[in-house]
Structure 1
Amino acid sequence: MNEVSSLSSMSGLRVAIMTDETGWHTGRLKKAFRARGVEARCVDLASCRIDTSWSPYGLAIPGFARDLPDAVFVRGIAGGTFEQVTLRLGILHALRECGVPVYNDARAIERSVDKSMTSFLLHRAGVATPPAWATESAAFAQRVLMRETAAGRRVVLKPLFGSQGKGLRRLGANAATGALEPLPPLRGYREVAYLQRYVGSARARQQGYDWRVLVIGGHAVAAMRRTGGSGWIHNVARGARCEPAELDPTLASLAERATAALGLDYAGVDLIPDLSAPDQTGLPLVLEVNGVAAWRGLQSVTSVDIAAALVDDLLDRKLAASGTPPLPVVPLHAGR
């Protein structure tokens, strides 16, 4: 399809960018949608509602009157109470039930935001990832910590939900005394222990890096290496530096398989070299998969127009595959 016919076929389409804040990312997305002749507007999921008196869909999306958007791009979901987050995800579920393509949809986001489910699905799909344990039992978590420490390993305690390296604690033998560091109280982790085996060695800590690979529509499109940061945590939000990285077949394949295992349209996949292995081959392991991934750091070190690539995939693959306009609700008593 040439540029003129592509723009013409998309004219009149309206897309909702679901986000709790506007800024650099939403600006890039809106520009990319405009380049395809598509109107995009930002909508806060907290402002949407399920309203069965609101004909014809039973779903009210601000800025779209009684209609629904032709497609939805999920850029951000604000935190809140369990009930608030459940309702916001419910809005995304409802949009899918109405036939609106949602990119990424609620099912995939639920898999990726829950670190325990991410680990389970990666393991089930045979994707190389560190061993992980998730439990409400502090006693079991302490036994895991003791067993891993006895084997000369360490573990990382992470919030089940969370991002940007917040709340991570590395546990094991104290470097100075050799004594086992106790498991911290789980009340700070909402009474759930998610433990992941720490991947590292003296060499790994000196080099201090991991990779972020962006996968769009099933294909790895760009990668960067993150160095430095806050000690052993290499998130950009914690001060890590972004460097260009070669997207070699091993990194690309592993990131693509991880994304497919969680059913994501696009994802930021975090990988780390396994230098703790006896042969220190440095083969990558998948640490986390981000279903609402930021890409500002990656954009600074790649020539790929990431926003344009995301928009093209949504319009040319996801929306084209749906092939149907949103479906109105048909009450059981209709026609009586």
Structure 2
Amino acid sequence: MKLGIVTIDRDRVVDELIKSCERFNVDHKIINPMNILAGFNLNFKLKYYKSFLDELDCCFVRNLGWDSFFRFDVLKYLNQYVPVINPPEGIDRASNKFLTSVFLELNNIPQPKTVVTESINEAIVWIDAFEEAVLKPIFGCEGEGIVKVKKDSPISVKLNILDEFRKKYKTFYIQEFIKPLRNEYRDIRAFVIDDEVVAAMYRVGGDNWKNNVSQGGRVERCEITDEIEELSLKAKNALGLFYAGVDLIESEEGLKVLEVNSTPSWIGLSKVSKVNIADKLLEKIIQHVKQ
């Protein structure tokens, strides 16, 4: 099998996937999307130096960067000839929190109460309705740009927060803040590949309400319950992904989906997982290509 690994930089995820390719005798090529050449009415469709990308058996997307729509459109073109993991449509839905909420709603998957608007007046109304709310950029990851706002904050403080947020991100994605059921903040990251939840972990923030490992959270092993399995698979499938990192929050009404990551790292999860996630992912990719 010939596997292309598309990434603008080589991180630990890429390194682990390369090691798995070597163990499974999979021919692999690192592809920097900045150097892909698309051709029309020529003797090639997509080239990477002297290689023709449409001759690959599969393409794995790790990191396209955030500064080019062209790279994403190239994936759509490539996917006409080669299976792309994750599929471009799924990446599009998962990388956009608004679209994620749309497809979770359409598939009756529980999520926190959420409103999306460009209006500061509406934003204040819903922050007050939620009493405690979280503002998130529609595009973003690792907890960057997320702000918590309380109903009882002075109106001048709320206006200042909203004004600064809108200058930077344009649109307000406002979610009710789910208060922790225990004495510390935590959420769950479930790692789903194809039809299986292969591992899960708690991301524990302690006194910090941001549980992301990049924000200082610690990881603990999480048992994969029937509820985690069912909800994670539904969320992954709703967004049209082959594999995903599904973020869940515990609430009084049960688990709810916070986000779905279409290019998740598994480095933190590997610390508590009994499964070699890179090996499992490559196994599933090989099976998928052979179908």
TM (norm. structure 2) is 0.92
Aligned-partner residue type, residue 320 of structure 1: K
- How far 1:36 moved relative to its partner? 2.1
Asked whether the 8 Å contact 1:46–1:88 carries over to 2, the reply is yes
Aligned-partner residue type, residue 164 of structure 1: E
Asked whether the 8 Å contact 1:51–1:59 carries over to 2, the reply is yes
Query: CA–CA distance in 1 between the matches of 2:261 and 2:162?
Result: 26
1:17 aligns with 2:5: yes
SS in 2 for 1:40: strand
Query: CA–CA distance in 2 between the matches of 1:145 and 1:46?
Result: 41
Query: CA–CA distance in 1 between the matches of 2:207 and 2:7?
Result: 28
- How far 1:65 moved relative to its partner? 4.6
Question: What is the 5 A alignment of 1:1-336?
Answer: 13-52=1-40, 54-56=42-44, 58-62=45-49, 64-65=51-52, 68-80=55-67, 84=68, 86-98=69-81, 100-148=82-130, 153-174=131-152, 181-182=158-159, 183-185=161-163, 186-201=165-180, 203-204=181-182, 206-228=183-205, 231-274=208-251, 277=252, 283-317=254-288, 319-321=289-291
Query: CA–CA distance in 2 between the matches of 1:112 and 1:63?
Result: 33
Query: CA–CA distance in 1 between the matches of 2:52 and 2:206?
Result: 46
The structure that has the greater radius of gyration is 1
Asked whether the 8 Å contact 1:230–1:238 carries over to 2, the reply is no
Query: CA–CA distance in 2 between the matches of 1:52 and 1:140?
Result: 47
Q: Per the alignment, do residues 188 and 95 of structure 1 end up closer, same or farther by CA in structure 2, a change over 3 Å counting?
A: same
Query: CA–CA distance in 2 between the matches of 1:255 and 1:267?
Result: 9
- How far 1:53 moved relative to its partner? 5.2
- How far 1:296 moved relative to its partner? 0.2
SS in 1 for 2:63: coil
Point out the more displaced range, 212-221 or 229-238.
229-238
Percent identity between the two aligned chains? 29
Query: CA–CA distance in 1 between the matches of 2:174 and 2:284?
Result: 35
Partner of 1:333: none
Q: Per the alignment, do residues 249 and 49 of structure 1 end up closer, same or farther by CA in structure 2, a change over 3 Å counting?
A: same
Partner of 1:5: none
SS in 2 for 1:181: helix
Asked whether the 8 Å contact 1:74–1:104 carries over to 2, the reply is yes
Q: How many residues align?
A: 289
Aligned-partner residue type, residue 232 of structure 2: A
Asked whether the 8 Å contact 2:127–2:151 carries over to 1, the reply is no
Q: Per the alignment, do residues 273 and 180 of structure 1 end up closer, same or farther by CA in structure 2, a change over 3 Å counting?
A: farther
Asked whether the 8 Å contact 1:229–1:236 carries over to 2, the reply is no
Per-residue Cα deviation, 1:311-333 (whole angstroms, up to 9, x for no partner): 1111112x123xxxxxxxxxxxx
Asked whether the 8 Å contact 1:30–1:41 carries over to 2, the reply is no
Per-residue Cα deviation, 1:273-328 (whole angstroms, up to 9, x for no partner): 11xx4xxx6x21110000000000000101101001111111112x123xxxxxxx
